[in-house]
Structure 1
Amino acid sequence: MFRKGSARDCWMHDSTPARRIVAVSGWIAQSRNSRNYDRHEKDPSDDAAPWMKSMKSNVWRSRLCVFALVFVSGFTAIAQSPARLTGKIAYIQEGNIWVQVLTEGIRRQLSQGGQAYHPQWSASGHWLSFNQSEKVNVIPIDLFGRNDTITLEADRSAWSPKLDEIAFVDHGALAVLRLEPVIRQKRIVFRQPAPGNIADFEWNPDGTSLAVATTSDGPDRITRLWYVNADGSSSREISFVRPLYSPHFEFAGWSSDGERILLWVGGFSASLAADGLPLVSVSVTSGDLQPVANDIPARVTQARGPGSAVLQYKEYIAVSPFGNRVLVISGFNRNAWTNKRLIAFNTATGNIRVLTDADKAVASCAWSPDGNAIAFAAGPDDREAGGGERAKRALAQRRIWIMNADGQQRRQLTADAKYRDEYPLWSRDGQHIVFMRMDTQNRISVWSVGVYDGTLLKLVDQIMGPAATDSWFGYYGHVAWPGFIAFSQ
């Protein structure tokens, strides 16, 4: 039985390790005073000696409790400290591909001749692909005894999210090449319908199938949607009711359950598409179509049809690893410093939740690995900026933020006025966020920040080569970061 004021009370009422240690320090002082009183003032023949013996016993018992308390508190503090960030970063430096292993701090150049872009890691992180001179190069990384480079005669490719196999268009057909455990002969999984060509393709979340877009020849150029098994065993067309004046579409992603495909739909006008296209969700079984939102200005609604105006950037879409939630940076206008709010769309119910306020313009977003938190980059919304120094000032205030999946408990992770922070990428354990930083001289570096303790660490000194005077602008304030960096753990 513990008495009031004992070590157990310190433990119960001072819940954090730091407060527990402070409380215990004061209690130790109390114990020391009791010991001194016992040593100097007790008379062996005193009638109170039995009581003092009992007190001495309690003092020593409490000291053991204190020892256990401090030990457990220290253990708790150690357990709560963030793990060291591990993994590999592939990035572009002066037109070539470099890789840096974070635990080693040694960088390695993988390409020559420049013009390399869009690094992508395989599911295991053992292979890296990148585009160069209208071809796709695939290189083994950290595989013992492997130094062969595979060149694919294709201008685009996509890795399976589950296996080390890569899809690409090969002489008009969609092919898949398996690389592990051994390199196998490529398999053809889909042949284009004649006349026409394969315009786009996207893996589903479990890697068992792909969505394929084909475009017919001729004046109409209608884009068709297909569901293709990854083993090539079968394919079928998905018919859906298209929004008015929307003969064309591009893939934005899949829902995490593999039941719906996200599409940007619209015409063939690049000028109209630059301000955003409607984003819709299509069922792979029934072809049922749902608009993701309805925020297109009335003056363009007839020309575009229903749906949300979303810029055609993949980093504007983030699919939750669990459930049916999709993050979308929604808002008409090509200027990335205004009218860009983060919404959460439920692909099963069609419900929409707005997560950020109108005074913030969101630049990119990412789900945590457990789907319970959201990281995003945002700066102030400046509707009056048309470009120039005013737009640059707004973009320079972009910071990394984090919040719960429901938009609550929002907090800012970075705050250095010397940098513009963008493109958050979560570590696998959810304890770190890797992100891009641009300084006032337009030099770009790669950093990480601790989610719980805010510790900042520079990972790569500089990427993309010498800073250009207008590199801050990108395309109306948007920098296509996936074309320059990829992170794998």
Structure 2
Amino acid sequence: MRSVVSIVVMGFLALPPAFAAREAVLKQIQLPHNYYFREMLLPQLTSGPSSVTFSPDGQSLVYSMAGSLWRQAIGADVAQELTRGPGYDYQPDWSPDGRHIVFTRHHANAIQIVRLDVATGKELQLTSGSDVNLQPRYSPDGKRLAYVSTKDTGHFNLFVAEIADQGLSASKFALPPRESAISRYYYSTHDHTINPSWTPDGERLVFVSNREIAYGSGSVCVAEPDSTTAPTCFNNEETSWRAQPEVGPDGDRVLYSSYQGRQWHQLWLTTLSGDATLPLTFGEFDVTQARWSPDGRRIAYVSNEDGNLSLWVQEVVGGKRTKIRAVRREHRSPVALLKVRLTDASGKNVPGRLSVVGSDARAYAPVNAWIHADDGFDPQQQREETRYFHCLDVCEVEVPLGDVAVTAWRGQQYTPAHRTIKVGSSGANELTLRLEELRLPAWAPRSITADMHVHMNYGGHYRSELQTLARQAQAENLDVVYNTIVNKEQRVPDVSLFSTKPFVDGRTIVYQSQEYHTSFWGHMALLHLDDHYLTPGFSAYQHSALTSPYPHNGVIADLAHAQNAIVGYVHPYDWSIVPEKEKALTHTFPADAALGKADYVEVVGFADHKSTAEVWYRLLNLGFRVPTGSGTDAMTNYASLRGPVGMNRAYLHTEGATTPAALKAAVKSGRTVASNGPQLALQIDQRNIGDVISLPAGKHRLRYRASMRSIAPIDHLEIVQNGRVVASHHFDKDRTRADMVGEIDLEASGWVLLRAWNEGANPLILDLYPYATTSPIYIDVAGQSPKSGADAQYFVQWMDRVIDAAEARDDYNDNEEKEETLKYLGAAREVFRGKL
């Protein structure tokens, strides 16, 4: 196993001596919640078409596919590759005279605008620096370019520049940067202006702006470039990052994408005067990236009706549709087919996750695969984020000739494998990667694996179905998936799928559950609801009809428990919480833990694991037996994914059972391990995780044994007792496995757990840093409750801050709601005061 791990590390840049730190992709964008705009606004690498433009004569299309630009005549089945990096090319726009195509190129962690000479194939980069430049659009006379850029501000603003043979000049804001007075949660105070389109006379721009809008990426607006007059916004529905309004050749009709009270984007028509909107396309899937043909008789668009992305041309009158299929591809440089097979130790084919990087340093995938990209990377270890796809058996990939690097994963219970193969133009280019199983000792309890926090569809490029999700889970060697249905602003994408019956595909089970959204009190997962989905599903949404902070999370927990569900706090803390120093503190996990409403907490999830553990330890020190859960918060239909499903997973000690009763019992009894990479096992005096060891008064010395197996090297493996490290494992050269035994001294009630962690990131684990923890084994000495005055005081101060914040809110629906909320919070504070 030591040699396998060393081979994997060679697939990335050499590890630096300092601790490695992940950074967000395109971190120069100064906006919160990057997992939204990154997926919904920024172009992403997909195997299917992602953006399109008509030729000036309307007979051909140029579109982005697999990171290149392709030209294809409408009605033909041959696609000609026009560009191939470096990097990945998107968002083409054809000049009115037909001579040039402008497009965006994602390379070296920036996005630049490039111009292609159609006749010669020569390229000219029009922008420079580390900015993110998007959505270039020629003016009707071809003399100006409108585009979106983070230049000078770090925010998305609309620019206009003169364009000539030598490039851009006189680039300036089309509208001055602006901040809104209204408070926003998902968006910055800085307004953005995105999705530009010219009117046919070239005098005005239509775009999307969120001036004084709290939710959604904004309204459709129109303005003259350089005008000091405020834009006129003529379509005020809650649009998304993908509205992309496009003015028709008639100069009046405006085509745009909208979900308008539904769950999926379709095409709608309005006018520059803001006349009533009417639908143009229909279906339970997304239709986006729409463009008018030059004569206004056809529309080209991208759809995910097949799950993956596909390109269509539709007649405006009559609605006849033509699918654009690249049956044959003419590449700019030679390619060959690489066949990759994954097997287990016995030689049996198994599904897994693959990253394939060609000799040109670009990522490649099968023509129908869903390509996903990591949401961050450490620039000291990698040149760019990891891009990957799931392979269910044997996968064939077209790659450029030369050295191709292939890395394979299969969840956390198999060692990753890496190989570089030289691909030639003749002969068999085949590669078999054997994935060795990582086994804990026989004494470790038998577990099933579960991702307790997944969103199957959440506004991403793709359209997932339950079988798609199950197949992703199988490639990640995952037994159980909880699809936590939740709103994305006005949408609840999977709400029609809610059911109390699980979906079963082979050995994989998908349970439909719910995430309850309130960014004031904190988010909760409600697993195994046995009757109905709780509506509205969110509260404390300011500037909405649901602005009231009531119901607080304790009310929702009671409603969930009435349906025999288990309730957990998800992605809690991104930094160490110091109650008296926080700018605001409204999170009620401590209150719900004190009052018995919280059944578990995601110590490993979409947050900082160590910071969450600090709060968790303090609660454990006061005798609140809240176990750990784990969930990735993966949006599995994203192309730029917050980790693959199962990246953060819980090992539930159920002896292999996957029934709701067995799963709930394992969680509530604390027979859980949470991990993003290492597998852990712990026993004390032959008692397992979740057990209570009862001892008489006095001093005791008990024997423990602990084990770890990990897909990546680990820096620290520690026994933690009542928040203190009491034993550490000293690793030899192989830091992927450890077995330790020893003795632990006990004389007071408390808890003991095992954890594994690193200070820095590792490219084999697509998370902040490797981390795993068991739930505790509890120690009961002479029936005494655990005591910690300092921790009790910490939570009293915490609750004081929460109560002050709740009391300051003046947007409850009535006094009864406010009084009930303050009474509940006061009861929690009294519990902590009683433990001082």
TM-score (norm 1): 0.41
Which structure shows the bigger proportion of residues in helix conformation? 1
Larger radius of gyration: 1
TM-score (norm 2): 0.26
